Amino acid sequence: MKPQIVMTAPSPEAWLEMLLQTAKALELSWLDLIVDQAELGSRWQSRVAALHSPRMLLQGTPHAEAADEGPVLLRLDANQPQTRLLKLLRQWQGQPRVLALFSGWDYDQLAERLTLCMQASWDKGLQQGVLRYHDPRLFAAVVDALDEPRRQLLLEPAAQWHWLDRDGNARMLDAVAIQSLPPLEWRNDTLTLEQEHIDALSSWHLAETWRQNHLLVPESYGLDSEEEMIRRLALAHQAADKAKLWSEVERLPLVERYLGQEPA
């Protein structure tokens, strides 16, 4: 299951119009958004006319202390122009803020499932954390890292998932096939992860940290895409883990090889 680019570097106006038209094509009268309100506060919520009260998805969880800075679910009227939302999208342009989804689920039921999937646990429940699948930079990586039951747990509430990638391109993941499966019976109150899921997700965290620490830009490696550079970095760290290369000095030659050339 791979995401596809549906628009190349759309303006906020073009992306919002596509989302509203997609809702109509799917015969939904609403549009659901998960907004990361880190460093925003909550005042922005009053600027959009939501159909229901916004739901802070970490509220009532062991991570509730971060709820005010965490993801918020909004359900908006897809039959309205949403001019206030457009102003926010313009303001947030270039920031990893918004994941859009098209769900026919009851709003409360949807919020409960999204909250469950944010509560990750591993090591037989001894370790817990927030699974940041709502981050547009990580959504596709999370989906790819999960096995079939866990992927279904995350994706089955929505027919489509939409976001803007690191290059500003509009991407979409079609989950209609997953919705056709028998409903999943999940017996845990968290999204339980195995070590292979943790290892795959850790490689993306390492890739982002490496990019920031080394101030990497795609042009230095003959690349024209932030997404491609991060993908190669994640693969490099996966390979380094398998080779048991733990220090930065040990990893550097392998990372440079995966990136394709010596930095300019």
- The answer to whether residues 97 and 172 belong to one domain is yes
Number of helices (H), then strands (E), in the chain: 9, 10
| Residue that terminates a domain, selected from 136, 160, 192 | 192
- The answer to whether residues 63 and 42 belong to one domain is yes
Range of the domain at 47: 4-192
CA-CA distance, 245 to 252, in Å (whole number)?
10
In a domain, 264, yes or no: no
- The answer to whether residues 215 and 155 belong to one domain is no
Q: In 3-state terms, what secondary structure has residue 119?
A: strand
pLDDT in tens, 217-238: 999 999 999 999 999 999 999 9
Please report which helix (H) or strand (E) contains residue 258, including its range.
Answer: helix 248-259
Asked if pLDDT for residue 31 goes beyond 80, the answer is yes
pLDDT in tens, 193-221: 999 999 999 999 999 999 999 999 999 99
Q: How far is CA 248 from CA 49, 198, 240, in A?
A: 49, 20, 10
Angle in degrees, CA 154, 95, 83, rounded to 5 = 90
- The answer to whether residues 131 and 151 belong to one domain is yes
| Residue that terminates a domain, selected from 147, 166, 192 | 192
What is the count of structural domains for the chain?
Answer: 2
- The answer to whether residues 252 and 185 belong to one domain is no
